[in-house]
């Protein structure tokens, strides 16, 4: 079994073989690359002609893209309808990879689904799939009968209309998945809130315990300081009182004999002072008596003068 090269493909396409209405330059390496002509989305019943701006296939969308070219497989060959790298790199996969049996003549359609995260635009020059031609060792006994384009398009329309809009109805699951995701996020948020509150409570409790312990330690330290101060104060007071008592005792023992010894001198001084005072009093009385006697004498002379004048 031999695979036709791009050289052989181009020669036969130029002779209007294998790919009818094909372009030889699209035969590369060992395959021919088919381009898009019409598209129909899953769940729809209408073909759209692909314009220059192209058609956008959103993520999870399922589409049928009919090729522009017509294929004609000889009885001694078979074609392989396979995926292209250009679409697979964008996340668009070919679902109907298959054989194009000997004798088949007509259009090919690529059933594509966008498994990527971004929209993919399919234009008139987009390679939707490619065919590798293999030569059989002999002509096939059973050949596929050719089909006209109208019956072929009718079959594709029927298939697309009965298909979901998205692969495995993923779009229909989106609201449910979104609801489940929101419930899960809500549960996670509640758990985070509960754990956050628990952490705050535990932190507050730990801080309260630490503050209580710190207050207790400070109070104990203050009690120790006050106790030490009182002890020192009382010690100082007792020492001062003892010193005062010692001083008084020393004074009594030392000065009392001298005071007792000098007591007689004090009495003598007191008696002498009293005698001096009495003497001073006597002198004062004597002076007063003399002054009164002089006054009396003067009065007597005045009385005598008055009597003589009368």
**Is the pLDDT confidence value at 272 over 60?**
yes
What is the reported pLDDT for 270? 54
**How many angstroms separate the CA atoms of 310 and 302, rounded?**
13
Contact 66, 38 (CB under 8 A): yes
Confidence category of residue 124, pLDDT binned at 50, 70, 90: very high
Angle at 143 between CA 139 and CA 149, to 5 degrees: 135
pLDDT digits (tens, 9 = 90+) for 168-226: 765 555 566 667 777 887 888 788 788 777 777 877 777 777 667 766 776 676 566 55
**How many angstroms separate the CA atoms of 61 and 41, rounded?**
8
Tell me whether residue 235 is in a domain: no
Give me the residue label for tokens 């001298």: 258
Range with the poorest average pLDDT among 71-85, 160-174, 220-234: 220-234
Q: Answer positive or negative: Cα dihedral of 261, 263, 268, 272.
A: positive
- Tokens representing 253 are 């023992």
Tell me whether residue 208 is in a domain: no
Tell me whether residue 189 is in a domain: no
pLDDT digits (tens, 9 = 90+) for 23-49: 999 999 999 999 999 999 999 888 999
Overall domain count for the chain: 1
Tell me whether residue 295 is in a domain: no
Contact 143, 103 (CB under 8 A): yes
Tell me whether residue 79 is in a domain: yes
**How many angstroms separate the CA atoms of 70 and 32, rounded?**
12
pLDDT digits (tens, 9 = 90+) for 145-181: 777 777 888 889 899 988 888 877 655 555 666 677 7
3-state secondary structure of 130: strand
Determine what percent of the chain is predicted with pLDDT higher than 90. 44
Range with the poorest average pLDDT among 50-59, 247-256, 288-297: 247-256
What is the reported pLDDT for 304? 73
CATH of the domain at 27: 2.70.40.10
Give the residue numbers spanning the domain of 123.
2-165
């Amino acid at each position: 079994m031999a695979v036709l090269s791009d050289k052989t493909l181009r020669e036969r396409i130029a002779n209007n073989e294998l790919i009818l209405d094909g372009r030889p330059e699209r035969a590369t390496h060992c395959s021919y690359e088919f381009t898009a002509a019409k598209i129909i989305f899953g769940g729809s019943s209408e073909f759209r002609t692909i314009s220059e701006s192209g058609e956008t296939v959103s993520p999870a969308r399922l589409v049928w893209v009919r090729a522009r070219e017509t294929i004609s497989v000889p009885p001694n060959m078979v074609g392989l309808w396979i995926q292209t790298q250009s679409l697979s790199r964008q996340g668009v996969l070919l679902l109907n990879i298959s054989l194009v049996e000997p004798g088949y003549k007509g259009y090919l359609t690529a059933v594509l689904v966008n498994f990527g995260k971004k929209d993919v635009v399919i234009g008139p020059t987009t390679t939707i799939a490619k065919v590798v031609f293999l030569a059989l060792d002999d002509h096939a006994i059973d050949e596929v009968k050719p089909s006209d384009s109208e019956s072929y398009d009718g079959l594709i329309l029927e298939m697309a209309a009965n298909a979901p809009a998205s692969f495995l109805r993923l779009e229909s699951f989106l609201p449910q998945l979104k609801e489940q995701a929101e419930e899960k996020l809500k549960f996670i948020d509640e758990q985070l809130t509960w754990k956050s509150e628990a952490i705050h409570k535990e932190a507050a409790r730990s801080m309260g315990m630490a503050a209580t312990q710190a207050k207790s330690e400070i109070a104990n330290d203050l009690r120790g300081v006050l106790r030490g101060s009182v002890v020192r104060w009382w010690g100082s007071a007792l020492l001062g009182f003892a010193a005062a008592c010692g001083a008084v005792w020393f004074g009594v023992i030392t000065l009392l004999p001298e005071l007792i010894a000098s007591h007689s001198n004090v009495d003598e001084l007191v008696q002498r002072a009293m005698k001096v005072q009495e003497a001073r009093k006597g002198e004062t009385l004597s002076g007063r008596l003399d002054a009164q006697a002089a006054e009396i004498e003067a009065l007597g002379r005045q009385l005598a003068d008055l009597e003589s004048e009368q």
